[in-house]
Amino acid sequence: MLQEESDLSLIIAQIVQKLKGSSLYAQLERQAWASLQRPEIKLESLKEDIKEFFKISGWEKKLQNAVYSELSVFPLPSHPAAPPEHLKEPLVYMRKAQGSWEKRILKSLNSMCTELSIPLARKRPVGEQKELLNKWNEMGTDEPDLSLFRPVYAPKDFLEVLINLRNPNYENGDSLSFRTHLGLIQVPLKVKDIPELKECFVELGLNTGQLGIDDSTQVPPELFENEHVRIGQKVLAEQDSAAAQQYIRQGSPTALRAELWALILNISSQPEDILYYEQLKTNVIQHDLLVDSLIYKDVKLTASNDDYYFVFEDYLYQVLLCFSRDTSVLSHFAYNSASPPKSYIRGKLGLEEYAVFYPPNGVIPFHGFSMYVAPLCFLYHEPSKLYQIFREMYVRFFFRLHSISSHPSGIVSLCLLFETLLQTYLPQLFYHLREIGAQPLRISFKWMVRAFSGYLATDQLLLLWDRILGYNSLEILAVLAAAVFAFRAVNLMEVTSLAAAEAVLADLSTLKVMPLLQIFLFATVT
């Protein structure tokens, strides 16, 4: 009991510490001072009166939301003497693997840089700065020569690294046999099985109304949709993050989604946020980074060719270029197993005083990175808000999809969850695919790394991301991947090659995700 209490007070202390540095704290302080003018605040009961005032005026709610937001990424309780690396990633072998992967990426980046004789960063001459400022809203029309640039890595390179992950402490006594090497992922992490998933995703059950199922044309709106919309409006009026998160498990009405996501992610566009974004924009104008070309190339290769997102090409540059200069992103590395790459001022290699993080936000984009931003353009058309939402989505969720960690929402766990679900509940399919050299993970990996962006129709993708926010977990991606295989099982059983399997699963744009998930979790005979 005492241990729990002291754990709790430690957590509280840490959160208080964190929030003291935020603008919310300054605002609360200002509000408290201003409230002294109010007649109901009496000197004798100052503390209670101010607390009451905060409650009534909605400031307490804002504080609640901020605390809730902090808790959602708070690392799991650990030993008080644990070193900070342990908070990033408790398993040593994972940390090591992530470290060597990072070294490889940085090496690749540096060698590209040397080959092309382009500096990692340079200050733009004034003329170029002016030009860029003029073109800020239409950078898509720029056609720089990107032919020599290659993406630093693609998802399939990352998959190879994950396949080779081994836990040196794990010895299961079996000699190398068929059974020990069924799937591609060979590390023993705990993943949920279907009964546990059913418990976890209970709101997706057959008896609960869902958007994505129960708002279809055949169902009269009085049965579910109208009431759900009404509740959604109420949640927004209350401005309660936790309630919104619970509500959105059943899906968000299209018209309310933008606000609901902002509420859950605790984003409110304050003037200082807009100012911060403008500051980042200035940084982009003044300095040119090598990663900018990587971003350009990625957008041109992916989003520009996408039926849904090509319209927003210019927004993508505006968000991603600013993102790579945003040093506030560095704080998420406290709970990310990855570490920001370091680079050195020219000529001072190895001297720690001259080390800088490169890119400034510590995140090197890979092929398909821009697809994390693209769906958000359907919801937010104001660049600074779009930016804030994306940044928060990244530091809460997306980073886990391309760093090696043991976290249940980390990509390694997702891969293992996917494979285990298939092996356990669709063994015949799994065996067949393996036999023809079409390991299922090789096909589904890219879906999960991109959180299905660019593979599903946008309205379906947004329904899926609703649930990611609602459950504060990415496990649903692995479940959906397995559900897709289950859905196309009949066709897959007939193919005889990896290429043919890929072809069966090439087009997911007609899939409806919620029925697939519901059937797989709750209606499949096991």
Partner 1 sequence: MAGKVKWVTDIEKSVLINNFEKRGWVQVTENEDWNFYWMSVQTIRNVFSVETGYRLSDDQIVNHFPNHYELTRKDLMVKNIKRYRKELEKEGSPLAEKDENGKYLYLDFVPVTYMLPADYNLFVEEFRKSPSSTWIMKPCGKAQGKGIFLINKLSQIKKWSRDSKTSSFVSQSTKEAYVISLYINNPLLIGGRKFDLRLYVLVSTYRPLRCYMYKLGFCRFCTVKYTPSTSELDNMFVHLTNVAIQKHGEDYNHIHGGKWTVSNLRLYLESTRGREVTSKLFDEIHWIIVQSLKAVAPLSLQPVMNNDKHCFECYGYDIIIDDKLKPWLIEVNASPSLTSSTANDRILKYNLINDTLNIAVPNGEIPDCKWNKSPPKEVLGNYEILYDEELAQGDGADRELRSRSGQSLGPKAGRSRDSGRTVLTTWK
Q: Please identify, among the stretches 91-99, 201-209, 387-395, 458-466, the one whose residues bind partner 1 according to the rule CB under 8 A.
A: 458-466
Q: Distance (Å, rounded) from C-alpha 89 to C-alpha 449?
A: 19
Please identify, using beta-carbon distances, which residue of 89 and 314 lies nearer to partner 1.
314
What are the C-alpha distances in Å from 466 to residues 210, 226, 249, 256?
A: 11, 18, 7, 11
Does position 54 interact with partner 1 (CB under 8 A)? The reply is no
Q: Name the pairing type of β-strands 342-344 and 287-289.
A: unpaired
Residue 86 CB, nearest approach to partner 1 (Å):
41
CB of residue 377 to partner 1, shortest distance in Å: 7
Binding mask 193-222 for partner 1 (x = CB under 8 A): ------------------------xx-xx-
List binders of partner 1 among 473-502 (CB under 8 A).
none
Query: To 5 degrees, how large is the angle CA 23–CA 28–CA 33?
Result: 130
Q: Does 232 bind partner 1 (CB under 8 A)?
A: no
Give CA separation, 380 vs 49, 385, 388, 452, in Å. 39, 7, 10, 20
Q: Give CA 452 to chain center in angstroms.
A: 12
**Least distance in Å: CB of 304 to partner 1?**
7
Under 8 Å between Cβ of 451 and 512: no
Shortest Å distance, C-beta 480 to partner 1: 20
Is residue 289 within the footprint of partner 1 (CB under 8 A)? no
Looking at the Cβ atoms of 167 and 304, the one nearer to partner 1 is: 304
Nearer to partner 1, 215 or 292 (CB): 215
* 458: contact with partner 1 by CB under 8 A: yes
Which residue's CB is nearer to partner 1, number 377 or number 441? 377
Among 59, 62, 140, 243, binds partner 1 (CB under 8 A): 140
| Beta-bridge partners for 357 | 342
Compute CA distances 64 → 332, 365, 471, whole Å. 21, 34, 18
**Residues 6 or more apart from 184 whose CB is under 8 A from it?**
159, 162, 163, 415, 419, 439, 441, 442
| Shortest Å distance, C-beta 314 to partner 1 | 6
Nearer to partner 1, 272 or 307 (CB): 307
Task: Give least dist CB 280 to partner 1, A.
Answer: 20
The answer to whether 69 touches 265, Cβ cutoff 8 Å, is: yes
The residue among 438, 451, 373, 380 whose CA lies nearest residue 411 is 451
114/141 with CB nearer partner 1: 141
Q: Dmax over Cα atoms in the chain, in whole Å?
A: 82
Q: How crowded is residue 138: how many other Cβ atoms within 10 Å of its Cβ?
A: 11
As separate numbers, helices (DSSP H) first and strands (DSSP E) second, the chain gives 24, 4
Cα 416 to Cα 96: distance, rounded to the nearest angstrom = 19
Nearer to partner 1, 255 or 334 (CB): 255
State which of residues 257, 432, 434, 446 lies at the interface with partner 1 (CB under 8 A): 257
- By the 10 Å C-beta count (0-12 exposed, 13-18 middle, 19+ buried), 488 is classed as middle
Nearer to partner 1, 53 or 247 (CB): 247
Nearer to partner 1, 213 or 377 (CB): 377
- Give the nearer residue to partner 1 in terms of CB position, either 85 or 142: 142
Phi then psi dihedrals of residue 121, to 5 deg: -150, 145
For partner 1, the binding residue among 103, 381, 499, 524 (CB under 8 A) is 381
Here's the x/- map for partner 1, 302-341, by CB under 8 A: it reads as --xxxxx-xxxxxx--------------------------
The contacts of residue 42 (CB under 8 Å, 6+ apart) are 49
List Cα–Cα distances, 359 to 223, 340, 341, 352, 435, in angstroms.
Answer: 51, 8, 8, 17, 43
377 counts as binding partner 1 under rule CB under 8 A: yes
Nearer Cβ to partner 1 (143/171): 143
Which residue in the set 137, 164, 496, 524 belongs to the binding site for partner 1 (CB under 8 A)? 137
Q: What is the CA radius of gyration of the chain?
A: 24
160 lines the binding site for partner 1 (CB under 8 A): no
Q: Is 378 in the site for partner 1 (CB under 8 A)?
A: yes
CB of 258: closest distance to partner 1 in angstroms?
6
**Least distance (Å) from partner 1 to the CB of residue 11?**
36
Q: How far is the CB of 457 from partner 1 (least distance, A)?
A: 9
Which residues are near partner 1 by CB under 8 A?
Answer: 137-138, 140-141, 143, 217-218, 220-221, 253-255, 257-258, 304-308, 310-315, 377-381, 458-459, 462
